[in-house]
Amino acid sequence: MTASTRRSAAAWAALLALVVSGLVLAPPSSGSVDTLRVAAADRASSAETHDKRRSGKKRKKKSRLSVRLTPAVVTVYGNGATEPTGVLAQVSPAVSRRPVTIQRKDDAGVWRTVEKARTNRNGQVFFGAVDVTSLGTQYFRGKVKASRGYRKVGWRTTTLYTRSNDGGCEPTTPLVDQQATGEAHCLAARLDRWYNARLMGIGQQVNISSQTEWDAPLQGIQPSIIGFDLQELDQAASVQYPYEADNIAGLIERAHQGAILVAVWHATDPFSGGTSHSPTQALEPLLDPSTAAYTKFWDDWDRKLELIERFQTDDADGDGVSDHSPCWCTPLVIRPLHEANGAFFWWGQAKVATYKKVYAELQARAARRGVHNLVWASAGNRNTSTTTNPGKYVPPRVDLGGLDTYDPEGPNDDPRDYLNLEGYDAIASKVPRMALTESGPHGSKDGSWNPAVITRTVRKQRLRPLWSMLWYDDSGYAEAGPKQITSVDGGMSWYRSCPNALCSVRR
């Protein structure tokens, strides 16, 4: 091979290497070089297409929608009373301002739009104007439009079932009072539906001894549970110009609109005549008719039963005539002689067997008087260094158990919001239903407490309390301070996060 030939071959080899590397395009004089050129062009075309896709619009993200009723089964009452419910559309991820449409199927089978709204910051739209005054299954559905970088979600449906109170209320566990009124049975059945739906009611205690401001803690809210004290109600009846009739009428009206009423009894000390916070006493004299304490205590209970009976007969003014037709006969959850495992009250930390006998006699006297509108509850205090196991004080015949638990907010206490549930399981293991009968901050001076800790805690621990009751703002003792929903910092945010005042405790 001559020198010039060797130089020509070397040049072609160098050129071929450049073509393979994609830096130089070979001239169209060689078939093998043409093939390399086409391959390089294909790679360039693929890269260009990829670049265009990346520089274009982003692919919309998926989202999910659930549509449910809170709750999905309600009772329809012939007297016009309601068990409120509503349609809750929940969009996930929770992004505000997503457009949601909710429709209801009319009697002709046509879907009609009943709500068009945008999600709140929790990703929710709630339609609360559901008619629950007549029997008949109702069908609802919802959908979400594409927006804010998310795809649309098609129709999701849910069904509302209505039951008549005329024989249609069947609690999961029968009431301990075999002669309980139909209204009491419906109340228990309603609570059982909440349990099955994993709903927890928001409760607010009121000061029923106040004449014109007893409902001040309820201003701006409609809790599903309203608590009051029989002792305070009796105080309203014992002044020179009694006003308990107006307060009873107000409670009955709230119940007619859908609230469940819960009565506690801070009983007067029959031994000393002092308040419920008098020093502890042995309870054996309350079972001995020969003692003065026996007479005072049971006379006091008879007076409370007279007040309770006015709810049963819809006779707020006590004149013996029902105030409405049909009767607005109102049931109550009652928890007498509560927190017996602590030494806070004169009946506290008594002999367990004696305490249970006194509780049973409370029930027997109510039955003998013909008072049967009661769902009987037993509430203990959380298990602390100053209390005993609350489970051992649960009477053998109760419909519901409860735990009273507060978060100390004194200067030397942990500033973090906390829900202590020690003792919950000890009570829950002995009762068919369970509630947080009192909860909230204790000793807060500025109301810096967020009730959202309640729902977070019960969800984390997989518990299903039927409600959580916050107390009203109080004063005059060391642990007093802001306690009610509208006074603590996170109260209204918590309330608004639970449509229909029913919080979901699903995880």
Alpha helices, H only, 370-496: 424-428, 452-460, 491-496
Is residue 324 within 8 Å of residue 79, measured between CB atoms?
yes
- Which pLDDT belongs to residue 232? 98
Instruction: Please state, in angstroms and rounded to a whole number, the distance separating the CA atoms of residues 67 and 179.
Output: 39
User: Does position 137 have pLDDT exceeding 70, yes or no?
Assistant: yes
pLDDT value for 18: 42
Q: Tens digits of per-residue pLDDT, 439-476?
A: 999 999 999 999 999 999 999 999 999 999 999 999 99
Identity of the amino acid at 144: V
Per the prediction, the chain carries an average pLDDT of 90
Residues 6 or more apart whose Cβ sits within 8 Å of residue 138 = 104, 105, 130, 131, 159, 160, 162
Residue type, 479: E
Higher pLDDT, 40 or 187: 187
With beta carbons less than 8 A apart as the criterion, state whether 124 and 70 touch. no
**Is the N-terminal amide bond of 432 cis, ω within 30° of 0?**
no
Q: What is the C-alpha separation between 89 and 411, in angstroms, rounded?
A: 42
Question: Which residues share a beta bridge with 164?
Answer: 76
Residue 69 has pLDDT above 60, yes or no: yes
Position 125 pLDDT exceeds 70? yes
Average confidence (pLDDT) over 180-206: 97
Write out the two tokens for 152: 């649309």
pLDDT in the model for residue 59? 84
Give, rounded to a whole angstrom, the gap between the first and last alpha carbons of the chain: 85
User: Burial code of 285-303, b = ≥16 C-beta within 10 A, e = fewer?
Assistant: bbeeeeeebbebbbebbee
Question: Which pLDDT does position 285 carry in this prediction?
Answer: 98
* Paired sense of beta strands 434-442 and 332-336, if any: unpaired
Query: What's the pLDDT at 57?
Result: 65
Coil, strand or helix: which one is 445?
coil
**Which position has the higher pLDDT, 49 or 152?**
152
> 40 versus 326: which is more confidently predicted?
326
**Two tokens at 223?**
């809790």
419 vs 8, more confident: 419
DSSP secondary structure code for residue 259 in this structure: P
pLDDT band with cut points at 50, 70 and 90 for residue 13: low
Cα separations in angstroms, 167 against 75, 178, 181, 189, 284: 11, 15, 11, 12, 41
* Tens digit of each residue's pLDDT (9 = 90 or more) over 140-168: 999 999 998 999 999 999 999 999 998 77
- In the block, tokens 């249970």 appear at 356
Query: What phi, psi does 132 have (nearest 5°)?
Result: -120, 35
Strand partners, 203: 225, 469
pLDDT at 56: 58
